[in-house]
Amino acid sequence: KQEVTQIPAALSVPEGENLVLNCSFTDSAIYNLQWFRQDPGKGLTSLLLIQSSQREQTSGRLNASLDKSSGRSTLYIAASQPGDSATYLCAVSHNDYKLSFGAGTTVTVRA
Amino acid sequence: EAQVTQNPRYLITVTGKKLTVTCSQNMNHEYMSWYRQDPGLGLRQIYYSMNVEVTDKGDVPEGYKVSRKEKRNFPLILESPSPNQTSLYFCASSLVGTAYEQYFGPGTRLTVT
């Protein structure tokens, strides 16, 4: 059974600092990995998807890397802003039909 | 606008009273799924569907039913809700393949008293 771990559980940084969020998974035979953002009481917004054959994906200030051999992915958010405050979830899939989620990292960016 | 919609967004009901949470997507996605999110347990899959008339159990299917009669709709049915089904429910959809991200609905917060 795939176990997905996100460390730290919570993070507080001053505005402008770069954010580094970690995700680890136990079974490296993944299909793809997706990073989501969740605002309190809201749904999940997809940020980046990395296919198993890829090493990284970038979108604006966001960059996600994938190291399948070590079972790790890292989400980097450059020059953080208060609007980046949210919970960030990592999800791993082995097939077309199921995502295994981590518990999330709750980020607070202080103005 | 491409989206997954859920209704209702909030629901308070009593034990044993049948209810249905609707989910609809306008992206012609083959795959649809239901998850529940609980504090300390994270997101867990309830049921999923790979196409019309094709459904299968996820990790926590007990107490739930689904149907997929049309490609765009995937309702979640609680025949006899119990308090342990109090949760935040999400519907998701995607195209099938490694390159395709899952899109999530806004969530339905269900309270069963």
Residues A1-46 pLDDT 10s: 889 999 999 999 999 999 999 999 998 888 899 999 999 888 899 9
Q: By CB neighbour count within 10 A (0-12 exposed, 13-18 middle, 19+ buried), where does A29 fall?
A: exposed
> Is any Cβ of chain A less than 8 angstroms from the Cβ of B48?
yes
3-state SS class at B19: strand
Nearest to A96 among B96, B105, B107 (CB): B96
CB contact under 8 A, A97 and B33: yes
Question: What was the pLDDT predicted at A40?
Answer: 86
Q: Among candidates B53, B55, B57, B25, which has minimal Cα distance to B44?
A: B57
Find the mean pLDDT for residues B89-96.
94
In the block, residue with structure tokens 């196409």: B51
CB contact under 8 A, A41 and B107: yes
Residues A82-100 pLDDT 10s: 999 999 999 999 887 788 9
Which positions in chain A touch B102 (Cβ < 8 Å)? 34, 46, 91, 99
Question: What was the pLDDT predicted at B72?
Answer: 97
Most A CBs within 10 Å: which of B10, B34, B43, as the mutation test of the A interface?
B43
